[in-house]
Amino acid sequence: MNKISSICFGCEPLGGTDWGNVDIKAIEDAVNTALDLGLNFFDTAGVYGLGLSEKRLSRILGKRRHDVVIATKGGLRWDQSESKRKVILKDSSPESIRGDVESSLKRLKLDILPIFYVHWPDSNTKIEDTFFELLKLKNEGKIKSIGCSNFSAKQLDIASNVCKIEYVQLPVNILDGPPNKNISEICTNKKIKIIAYNVLLNGLLTGKFDQNSSFPKNDRRSRLSIFKGSTFLDALKKVDKLKIEAENVNNSLAHYSIDWVLKQENIISVVIGIKSTDQIIDNWSVKSNLI
């Protein structure tokens, strides 16, 4: 497998939902710029835009999709009926996981998925059953590497006793602190690499928001508690302090935050949601990425 870049292009906005009014052409331009810069790692999921993120990523990359590392995720089913907001159900049953792998292969137009994560643990399915099925899919040549996303230490331990887990994806940022110690320990012992998301805390750690910031209804930040009331005001105070820390070392808050995450044990790459060429150029120029 290619060595993956330490900045991973987060493709959830490419799905077109829950991140406000996104300009798909602007994201397409950003993908092309990212490739020119040397980025080779993309993060998507079946559920992002209910299949649209994977389809669009494949279209934009064209033949180049075979030269990069695309990580996708499954184990979430959506209610197909037309409702205002789709109902998402966790389902990592062997049949559902197999179906998800097959669907992602079709949408991405790939013969093998470089990385396939179980998106969220499903309490109705035995973890052993899910990962035994994934092992079968790997042996059939449909998946190269298996990963767990949002798993607890205990769940990760069970999964990693069934098959080799290569990657764990979980939220890590400078405000909330390093990854859970028990997860880190398992990752060190079993040589599992961590891919972090929520590194910019949905943009908060760029320092661009203030108490007057608000978000449209179709942007998840209009629902998230960190962007509401006193929690938001407290977070903004912490962000101000971090901004000063960053300035003291001649860094922007966003870069300081990304650098901090990349320095944590076992973390080899950070997934950052991208909406524009400016954002990928800015994030790519993080000091530790250019060393």
Ligand X SMILES: NC(=O)c1ccc[n+]([C@@H]2O[C@H](COP(=O)([O-])OP(=O)(O)OC[C@H]3O[C@@H](n4cnc5c(N)ncnc54)[C@H](OP(=O)(O)O)[C@@H]3O)[C@@H](O)[C@H]2O)c1
Q: Can you state the angle between helices 277-284 and 253-262, rounded to 10 degrees?
A: 60
DSSP string of 108-155? Answer: HT-SSEEEEEE-S--TTS-HHHHHHHHHHHHHTTSEEEEEEES--HHH
Kindly name the residue from 48, 117, 167, 197 that is annotated as catalytic.
48
C-alpha closest to that of 195 among 147, 267, 263, 264:
267
Closer by beta carbon to ligand X, 19 or else 141: 19
Rounded CA separation 145/165 (Å): 7
**Least separation in angstroms between CB 175 and ligand X:** 11
C-alpha distance from residue 193 to each of 70, 85, 135, 183 (Å): 16, 34, 18, 11
- Specify the residue, 53 or 125, whose C-beta has the smaller distance to ligand X: 53
| Least gap, CB of 242 to ligand X (angstroms) | 14
Nearer to ligand X among residue 201 and residue 242 (C-beta): 201
CB of 99 to ligand X, least distance (A): 20
Helices (H) and strands (E) in the chain, counts: 10, 10
Output the smallest distance, CB 11 to ligand X, in A. 5
Between the CA atoms of 31, 90, 82 and 275, what dihedral angle is there, to the nearest 10 degrees?
A: -20
User: Cβ of residue 139: shortest distance to ligand X, in angstroms?
Assistant: 25
Judged by beta carbon, residue 131 or residue 284, the one nearer ligand X is: 284
Between residues 6 and 198, which has the closer beta carbon with respect to ligand X? 198
Residues that bind ligand X (CB under 6 A): 10-13, 19-20, 43, 119, 149-150, 169, 197-203, 206, 208, 254, 271-273, 275, 279, 282-283
How crowded is the C-beta side of 17, counted as CA atoms within 13 Å? 12
Q: Closest approach of Cβ 19 to ligand X, in Å?
A: 5
Name the residue with the smallest CB distance to ligand X: 10
Q: In angstroms, rounded to a whole number, what is the distance separating the alpha carbons of residues 97 and 76?
A: 9
Q: Determine the Cα–Cα distance for residues 203 and 209; give it in Å rounded to an integer.
A: 8
Query: How far is 171 from 91, CA to CA, in rounded Å?
Result: 21
SS3 content of the chain, % helix, strand, coil (to 5): 45, 20, 35
Give 88 or 110: the residue with its C-beta nearer to ligand X.
Answer: 88
Q: Please say if 48 is a catalytic residue.
A: yes
**Catalytic amino acids?**
48
